Amino acid sequence: MSEIRPNRRDVLERCIASGLLLGGVTVTQRQLLGFWEQAEAAAHKPTSAEVLGPFFRKGAPNMKTLRGAGDLGFPLQVVGKVLNTKGLLVEGATVDFWHADHAGRYDTKGYKYRTKVTPDGTGEYAVDTILPGHYEDRPAQHIHYLIAAPGHKTLVTQAYFATDPFFEGDPAKNWNKRGIAHNRELVLPVKLFEGPAAPRAEIRFDIVLERA
Ligand SMILES: [Fe+2]
C-alpha cells in the first residue's frame, strides 16, 4: 500500500475541519496559510530570545517522552533541528526544554515536563509531551527553551502556539497581545495528525543559533 503524505494545505484543512485550529473563534484558511509562510520565511535568521522565567531547573534528564500514561492534556509532539545561520546543522547542541502541565502548573520539585535532549544523527530532536496549560501570569501556552552548542551563543527562548485561543484565531495580528511573545516568529503553526493511534498535535521549532 502506498503511503499518502498530505501536503501542507491538506494538513491545515484537516486541522480546520477538526476544530483544533479554531480554538472557539473564527479564523480563515488564508490567515493560517499566510502565518505559516511567514514562519517559514524566517527560517535562517537567528532565533530571537525570550526571558528565562522563574521555573528553570538545571539537571533535567535526557527524556524523549514526557507524557505519561493517563496524563491529562492533548498529546503534543515537538520536533525541530538546531541550525546555524547558514542553515547547517550545529554539532553537539543540547536542547533544554520545560513547560507547565495541562493546568498551567510547573513541577518545581521534580522534572515532570522537563528534559534536556540532544538531536539525533539526522540533527532532529523530538519530544513527546502534552500541550501546556495556561497560567495567570503568562496566559499564552508556551514551552521554554535553553539551547547550547560549542562555538555558539547560548539561546534562551520560548515557543508559542498559533492555535492558542489567547491569540483569538488571528496570531498574525494578535501575536504581541499583552506583550507576552516578543517575536511573531515564535508563535508556531500547529498541525493535527489523525491516524490509527490517538490524535496528536505537532509543532516544529527549528532553532537557529549565532556563532559566539
Ligand atoms: Fe512559563
Higher pLDDT, 33 or 95: 95
Distance of CA 140 to the CA centre of its chain: 12
Grid coordinates representing 204 are 516544529
CA of 13 from ligand 1 middle (Å) equals: 30
> From the CA of 98, how far away is ligand 1's center (Å)?
8
**For residue 55, how far is its CA from the centre of ligand 1 (angstroms)?**
7
Closest C-alpha among 144, 146, 147 to residue 160: 144
Q: Is the pTM of this model over 0.95?
A: no
Q: What is the pLDDT of residue 20?
A: 52
Nearest 5°: the CA angle 105, 124, 110 is 25
Q: 159 CA to middle of ligand 1, Å?
A: 10
Mean pLDDT of 157-183: 94
Domains of the chain, CATH where assigned:
8-209 (2.60.130.10)
Average pLDDT over residues 166-195: 91
Residue keyed to cell 551563543: 153
Say which residue, 45 or 5, is predicted with more confidence: 45
Residue 118, SS3 per DSSP:
coil
Indicate the pLDDT class of residue 101, thresholds 50, 70 and 90: very high
Ligand 1 midpoint to CA 103 (Å): 12
